[in-house]
């Protein structure tokens, strides 16, 4: 078992919310294509089950960051209202995702251990394990990076990239992942008017800048590190007329360095009539047979016309 897997196990078994409470969720399995349930492939991905999640609690929704334990037994997700969702996952005999149980919902804590209050402070957009077993959360509006250490609910502030302070309130870090060499890779959402977003890789005394290239109106919304050290970047496109489209890019580890222009290769393009929504969270793990499993969660924006979806795919077969 490599160091990254050990970190994932530790990180996603720890609580990161203050006073989490059990939450009743209605779980409805969904096909990838509602009009053709037998169709299960898109690009390099094979569908391994998906769930539509609903709850009566008005705090439920807006999930923008996702973490999955190394054994696939648990998820943790943070929302743009400062909440943390924790739940157990279940699978059928073929390893397909088919259920969610033992769900808790609680507020993320601030530096003093108090629950986050107000949109400016609570807009959590991405999360990642850290090298010491902590969970690192990136926030927008008031741009910042906070770490939640094992066994503690109160946050500790991390030094953010210098350029973060100059970004508009809704253009902060949307994608955050721990690379296999211990660096953090962070990508800002940026603007749909631009073909690229500012990105960073951490170093011991700060951050180094690079550019992540998008184009065609897509913006980065999440990132996850593959077992071999490469990265998957989740991107979203939306206009009121065209609706939402999602794509996933594969970025090689060697492409991520200071001053680089990172492009990546599209491995899947998800669009209607597929079962998609505003996917903002992504994570990966290795399955029982060594396959790479990819999980996505959507941000419903607390809008009745949108859904909270949790989907799972196998990469490359």
pLDDT of residue 190: 81
DSSP states along 156-189: EEEPPPGGGGGS-TTSSEEEEEE-TTS-EEEEE-
What's the pTM value of the predicted model, to 2 decimals? 0.94
Alpha-carbon distance of 281 to 21, in angstroms, equals: 22
Cα separations in angstroms, 43 against 207, 211, 227, 266: 34, 25, 20, 9
The least confident of 40-44, 238-242, 287-291, 306-310 is 238-242
- Over residues 191-198, the mean pLDDT reads 82
Asked whether the predicted pLDDT for residue 266 surpasses 50, the reply is yes
pLDDT of residue 291: 94
Percent of the chain scoring above 90 in pLDDT: 80
pLDDT of residue 195: 83
> Residue 43: what are its φ and ψ, rounded to 5°?
60, -130
Alpha-carbon distance of 22 to 71, in angstroms, equals: 22
Asked whether the predicted pLDDT for residue 16 surpasses 70, the reply is no
- Over residues 156-160, the mean pLDDT reads 95
Over the stretch 227-262, which tens digit does the pLDDT of each residue have? 999 999 999 999 888 889 999 999 999 999 999 999
Over the stretch 130-143, which tens digit does the pLDDT of each residue have? 988 899 999 999 99
Asked whether the predicted pLDDT for residue 12 surpasses 50, the reply is no
Structure tokens at 307: 């859904």
Cα angle 145, 149, 152 (rounded to 5 degrees) comes to: 115
pLDDT of residue 1: 31
For the chain, domains (ranges, CATH) are 3-315 (2.120.10)
What is the C-alpha radius of gyration for the chain, rounded to an integer number of angstroms?
Answer: 18
Q: Is residue 271 very low, low, confident or very high in pLDDT (cuts 50, 70, 90)? A: very high
Over the stretch 51-103, which tens digit does the pLDDT of each residue have? 999 999 999 999 999 999 999 999 999 999 999 999 999 999 999 999 999 99
Whose CA is closest to 315, among 293, 285, 282, 286?
A: 293
Percent of the chain scoring above 70 in pLDDT: 93
Alpha-carbon distance of 33 to 41, in angstroms, equals: 10
């Amino acid at each position: 078992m490599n160091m990254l897997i050990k970190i994932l196990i530790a990180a996603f078994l720890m609580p990161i919310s203050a006073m989490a409470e059990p939450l009743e969720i209605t779980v409805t399995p969904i096909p990838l294509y509602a009009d053709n349930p037998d169709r299960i492939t898109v690009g390099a991905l094979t569908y391994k089950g998906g769930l539509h999640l609903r709850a009566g609690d008005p705090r439920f929704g807006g999930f923008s960051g996702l973490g999955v334990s190394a054994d696939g037994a648990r998820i943790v997700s943070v929302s743009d209202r400062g909440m943390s969702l924790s739940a157990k996952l279940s699978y059928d005999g073929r390893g397909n995702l088919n259920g969610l149980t033992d769900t808790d919902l609680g507020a993320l804590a601030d530096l003093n251990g108090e629950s986050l209050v107000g949109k400016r402070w609570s807009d959590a957009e991405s999360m990642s394990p850290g090298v010491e077993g902590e969970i690192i959360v990136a926030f927008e509006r008031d741009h910042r990076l906070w770490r939640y250490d094992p066994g503690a609910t109160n946050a500790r502030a991390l030094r953010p990239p210098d350029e973060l302070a100059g970004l508009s309130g809704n253009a902060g870090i949307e994608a955050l992942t721990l690379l296999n060499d211990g660096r953090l890779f962070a990508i800002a959402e940026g603007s749909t008017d631009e073909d690229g977003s500012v990105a960073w890789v951490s170093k011991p005394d700060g951050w180094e800048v690079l550019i992540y290239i998008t184009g065609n109106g897509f913006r980065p919304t999440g990132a996850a590190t593959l077992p071999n050290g490469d990265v998957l970047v989740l991107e979203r496109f939306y206009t009121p007329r065209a609706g939402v489209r999602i794509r996933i890019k594969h970025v090689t580890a060697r492409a991520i360095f200071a001053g680089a222009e990172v492009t990546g290769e599209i491995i899947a393009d998800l669009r209607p009539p597929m079962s998609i929504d505003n996917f903002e969270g992504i994570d990966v793990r290795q399955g029982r047979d060594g396959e790479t499993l990819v999980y996505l969660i959507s941000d419903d924006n607390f809008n009745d016309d949108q859904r909270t979806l949790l989907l799972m795919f196998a990469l490359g077969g």
